[in-house]
Structure 1
């Protein structure tokens, strides 16, 4: 469904804007949480402002993906954008924490629709060859949001009030809505009518239980609840797979994973969440403790990581669109990520800060080289009537992988540091300020402890990238076609079809 150059530019601008708004709401609230909780008098519920948004934006991905295939991505996108604006307005007017959390749930739901349908719409209106370039542009919203979100949230909360953290979405979102109404074409539905209710309910229940379980498992007081959640998740997943193999129009068409490109691409997407997104939250703490830096300076390492991701995401997207070749980027990217994280595990304490910055920049560079590209490749390999569903699958394994691995890493750090501290020292009281105010010998001890605790974590994440390297090698070699609806030229004979439109 080719568009005129002007209309395509308007479309990309609109999709990039709303993708940025959705990604920003993951990060912009973090620096305002204490202010929000204090104003609403609910400090104990502060974490749910983030968890409710993340949970809602994760569990609804497969449902929204399939809905986009059935009714068309334009309708789902516009509905999600309107709901996002209403929810943003409600967040700012929330008189108590309970209503704010409810509004954040709706904001997360609509954000999932915006992110997912942006990628689906691009897949429907561009050729496989052009797709990586536009996916890279839209995908740049996430790393940019990571870079500026916390700073922007702090500035807004300090000068305008925390309500404007949410209300700032309104003027930008309305402008994006106007552009979207003009630029997004009417895309025919790709899938037959009929919604897989049982599959949707069981998959949503399984993901909710899984995410809650990994969120609770590190808290001894919630261990029983976590184990119960894991049991519910296991049962729900079993029922989901039973339902999907029998459904006439499944919410997640499992048969498409028989295609080697789809299976390998989905695995690569999971590696991004497991191997990098999970560790970024802990890098500032690691740097503060192992390198004795301030909180502000510790942010330089994750910033370097994100900058590497942003640069390579844009570069490989444009290169893949120019040549049509895609396989080399995930192969080189996963290798770079594996080597970089292995080097991080071997860095001794006492090095200048530029050392981990350079290494993590390389890890970000490797990850960004296939972060958005792999979505375009998998879309091109899937049947047209499953574009939304397969796009949702690629995104959900990334988010769930990040959520689960983040919880595991947090538990390992907490237990490891507590076990290695000198006898009689309370791990709960160990703060960067306390360490930096102590004598040099204690600072050196804590630095070595954090280095020893994080070393096996970096090795494990390096192993995850090594698995991704194998998955990248399994991608069938080929070239993305420059014509919508055609099949790419395959370099050598394959038993399975290479990506197509």
Structure 2
């Protein structure tokens, strides 16, 4: 069964219930977690605005600060859950992990829909992030257990296609629901779908565990798990607060980031000592492997760029005067091309069994998209930024499929789930660092340009503060000043898109370390990484 490396199944082995349930769980997760990035952008700003007026009347635009916290805590939840899934599901079974994370996602989503305050909403988003991150990680691990190396790329492409379709619907659907019924309904309407996924997992995913001589709880690497969570949480909190909500010199930021480094050092110490961690959360010997490390660094930089685009392209659409629903619709090319590219990549992997050539092409496509974004202007035609979105989406979607396929092909079967967990550490760090880096660049460039353009205006400092906190204030300005301010925003976006290009180039360089390996067609083919049977 899936619980033990030596008893893995393929789709050809007749284990159809498990295969159907796995793919169904992955697609359900795709709908639920894929809508999150775009729905955050289309309705979270409004949900925080609804709460702000009872929080601090001295700061009527404090909603922007709360928005950063809502989004950031969701990402922290995702980041802390994903790296732990590999080892914990080895101990307690994949089925238990998938059920638990689905339930957490359900509770978090319900909490968001009924939240009486912003503090409650932030806590609920954290729980939802833990659930969503865990669901994605569990589905990825189960796919690797169930499928051969060539099947994994193809099925991963199919799931990514569903992910892309539902991600495009997430922004549009979320914006439309917000406009018609309010932001709470955008959360509550997901509950029946989540319940369907939970029932499906409970009925069809049955993964028995072999008896172990040691109690399950004693096999958990508590020190490793705690130090890894501490590293990610302190790092993400520090980066999320620093420069966005608090100055970099604030004591909370100055404490969080050094504590993150201390936790990382302790994590490395624990994982290196077999007496402290006989079954480490992430065996360090895996991270030292060339392909695993290259995939991890590629994950890091591609997620920095992808999340930067996801969070700041809506600013461009707003500058053009689009509503939240229209902005969500404009994301459709990225999401659809993401899924189609992943599917085409999966077919290529299935047919050829090789991935290096495709990897190079996809990174070139990603670079082309970044160059197009860098040259966006307020006068750009729809066809121009449509092409930019398609290139960026196609490059990113295909790269993810190649990355995970090359990763699991480079390690032994029993190490695949743990290698995926290791890669998720890089991925999670990149996701949040992308938002932080882009925010720092955007805010600094915006302020510099506004000060220069509005110099000499009456009450310039107050106008600049309002414009940095409340984007909608642009439309209340006189037309001559409005055009100057829009130009300032575009200059700030240029700085953000320059960061996108640089990180995409760094990701492409990191991917050069991924080594080619011919993918096996069946589980019965000898694995060159496995020692020969005695």
Quote how far apart the aligned CAs of 1:40 are.
9.8
Most deviating of 271-280 and 350-359: 350-359
Select 1:168's aligned residue among 189, 192, 202: 189
5+ unaligned residues in a row in structure 2: which ranges? Answer: 1-8, 56-61
Select 2:87's aligned residue among 49, 61, 66: 66
State the alpha-carbon separation in 2 of the partners of residues 390 and 383 from structure 1: 10
Match of 2:255 in 1: 228
* Contact preservation (8 Å) 1:309, 1:368: yes
State the alpha-carbon separation in 1 of the partners of residues 106 and 488 from structure 2: 46
Most deviating of 393-402 and 99-108: 99-108
Find the residue that maps to 1:271 and give its secondary structure: helix
Match of 2:220 in 1: 195
Match of 1:494 in 2: none
Quote how far apart the aligned CAs of 1:408 are.
1.4
Find the residue that maps to 2:281 and give its secondary structure: coil
Match of 2:465 in 1: 428
Most deviating of 86-95 and 349-358: 86-95
- 1:120-173 deviation per Cα after TM superposition (whole angstroms, max 9, x unaligned): 111111111100122223334543343222333344455556554333333222
Select 1:13's aligned residue among 24, 34, 38: 24
The yes-or-no answer on 1:277 pairing with 2:307 is yes
* Contact preservation (8 Å) 1:330, 1:469: no
TM-score, length of structure 1 as denominator length: 0.86
* Contact preservation (8 Å) 2:76, 2:129: yes
Match of 2:233 in 1: 208
- 1:466-487 deviation per Cα after TM superposition (whole angstroms, max 9, x unaligned): 2222233322223211112645
The yes-or-no answer on 1:483 pairing with 2:513 is no
After TM superposition, the structure 1 = structure 2 runs for residues 343-422 of structure 1, keeping only pairs within 5 Å, are 343-347=372-376, 350-421=379-450, 422=453
Relative to structure 1, is the Cα distance of residues 198 and 466 closer, same or farther in structure 2, using a 3 angstrom cutoff? same
Most deviating of 233-242 and 159-168: 159-168
Match of 1:294 in 2: 322
State the alpha-carbon separation in 2 of the partners of residues 59 and 279 from structure 1: 23
- 1:435-487 deviation per Cα after TM superposition (whole angstroms, max 9, x unaligned): 56767765554454444433343333223222222233322223211112645
Match of 1:248 in 2: 278
TM-score, length of structure 2 as denominator length: 0.81
Select 2:10's aligned residue among 2, 20, 26: 2
Match of 2:142 in 1: 121
State the alpha-carbon separation in 2 of the partners of residues 37 and 350 from structure 1: 31
Relative to structure 1, is the Cα distance of residues 20 and 220 closer, same or farther in structure 2, using a 3 angstrom cutoff? closer
Quote how far apart the aligned CAs of 1:56 are.
1.5
Quote how far apart the aligned CAs of 1:333 are.
1.2
State the alpha-carbon separation in 2 of the partners of residues 414 and 447 from structure 1: 14
Find the residue that maps to 2:364 and give its secondary structure: helix
- 1:223-247 deviation per Cα after TM superposition (whole angstroms, max 9, x unaligned): 3122221111111111111222113
The yes-or-no answer on 1:459 pairing with 2:498 is yes
Quote how far apart the aligned CAs of 1:214 are.
1.1
Match of 1:137 in 2: 158
Quote how far apart the aligned CAs of 1:65 are.
2.4
Find the residue that maps to 1:282 and give its secondary structure: helix
Most deviating of 232-241 and 94-103: 94-103
- 1:364-398 deviation per Cα after TM superposition (whole angstroms, max 9, x unaligned): 22111112331132123223333332222323322
Match of 1:217 in 2: 242
Relative to structure 1, is the Cα distance of residues 403 and 142 closer, same or farther in structure 2, using a 3 angstrom cutoff? farther
State the alpha-carbon separation in 2 of the partners of residues 190 and 372 from structure 1: 34
Quote how far apart the aligned CAs of 1:91 are.
4.4
Relative to structure 1, is the Cα distance of residues 313 and 186 closer, same or farther in structure 2, using a 3 angstrom cutoff? same
* Contact preservation (8 Å) 1:135, 1:373: no
Most deviating of 35-44 and 446-455: 35-44
5+ unaligned residues in a row in structure 1: which ranges? Answer: 490-496
Quote how far apart the aligned CAs of 1:213 are.
0.9
State the alpha-carbon separation in 1 of the partners of residues 316 and 228 from structure 2: 35
Find the residue that maps to 2:519 and give its secondary structure: coil
- 1:151-200 deviation per Cα after TM superposition (whole angstroms, max 9, x unaligned): 33344455556554333333222322333234324165799962221111
Relative to structure 1, is the Cα distance of residues 217 and 196 closer, same or farther in structure 2, using a 3 angstrom cutoff? same
Quote how far apart the aligned CAs of 1:263 are.
1.7
* Contact preservation (8 Å) 2:349, 2:355: yes
Relative to structure 1, is the Cα distance of residues 98 and 461 closer, same or farther in structure 2, using a 3 angstrom cutoff? closer
